[in-house]
Amino acid sequence: MVSKSRWKLLAMLALVLVVMVWYSISREDRYIELFYFPIPEKKEPCLQGEAESKASKLFGNYSRDQPIFLRLEDYFWVKTPSAYELPYGTKGSEDLLLRVLAITSSSIPKNIQSLRCRRCVVVGNGHRLRNSSLGDAINKYDVVIRLNNAPVAGYEGDVGSKTTMRLFYPESAHFDPKVENNPDTLLVLVAFKAMDFHWIETILSDKKRVRKGFWKQPPLIWDVNPKQIRILNPFFMEIAADKLLSLPMQQPRKIKQVMMGSQA
């Protein structure tokens, strides 16, 4: 059950990312139409700002100031205050996060950054992709996003071979990150708990591994270049949970304390 709800959250999150980074050509406000953008047959002109206006309708203009990946500079001098703990914010995990950000990166690759139109696709992990022959269509997108340990090797004809980003958390990481990814794939950690930052730190800095605190044993050795690792901004988890899935949001602790204090 834990795994299922995480998957749902992650999938919604991936859809949010699509809106954030892609210009769109759809018409309605309903999610399916909102998030489904067929590749046009002919090259159509890029509609500048359309994804942005759609995104701001959904989450307000605030989202424009939010980087997709967490950045060291936001945690180094000024500790960015966050109302929520993981997975919806960084409250209480700042020190661990700082150490992780110091050895990873937050940049968007130049070849994506420089595109005027960024067309993205999220490739799900469902069985219906089998024998779909969608591989070539998927590879045509500028940004191909995959989730968790979705297999690619051996299924290229159906799921494509390009992986621009792979969103994962420790328990969902493939034991060999080189097998299903391209050499330049960004491995985007979606942290659900402070232990997830601790896990990546011990892997990348070769510190003593932690084995407790996970619902499934994550890899203890993970052969990856730290510069390929990105940390997803938990703001997008908050948006996916709150605005798209309408999950009950955990109250910021401060409010809880004030309420308890006033009762006492």
- Site for ligand NAG, rule CB under 6 A: 56, 60-61, 130-131
Between residues 130 and 212, which has the closer beta carbon with respect to ligand NAG? 130
Smallest distance, Å, CB 127 to ligand NAG?
A: 7
Q: Which residues pair with 186 in a beta bridge?
A: 165
Buried b / exposed e over 221-257, threshold 16 CB at 10 Å, is ebebeeebbbbbbbbbbbbbbeebeebeeeebeeeee
Smallest distance, Å, CB 128 to ligand NAG?
A: 9
Buried b / exposed e over 44-54, threshold 16 CB at 10 Å, is eeeeeeebbeb
Between residues 70 and 244, which has the closer beta carbon with respect to ligand NAG? 244
Enumerate the H helices of the chain as residue ranges.
2-21, 31-35, 50-59, 73-76, 94-103, 110-113, 135-139, 156-159, 194-204, 235-239, 253-263
Smallest distance, Å, CB 158 to ligand NAG?
A: 9
Q: Among 59, 70, 58, 55, which Cα is nearest to 19's?
A: 55
Q: In sequence order, which residues have a C-beta less than 8 Å from that of residue 18 and are 6 or more positions away?
A: 35, 37, 120, 121, 122, 145
Structure-token match 């936001």, residue found: 74
Smallest distance, Å, CB 61 to ligand NAG?
A: 4
Smallest distance, Å, CB 16 to ligand NAG?
A: 17
Between residues 131 and 225, which has the closer beta carbon with respect to ligand NAG? 131
Query: 3-state class of 229 per DSSP?
Result: strand
Between residues 61 and 257, which has the closer beta carbon with respect to ligand NAG? 61
Q: How far is CA 105 from CA 69, 101, 140, 189, 250, in A?
A: 9, 7, 26, 12, 29
Smallest distance, Å, CB 60 to ligand NAG?
A: 5
Smallest distance, Å, CB 126 to ligand NAG?
A: 11
Between residues 85 and 158, which has the closer beta carbon with respect to ligand NAG? 158
d(CA 242, CA 248): 7
Between residues 38 and 154, which has the closer beta carbon with respect to ligand NAG? 154
Between residues 5 and 61, which has the closer beta carbon with respect to ligand NAG? 61
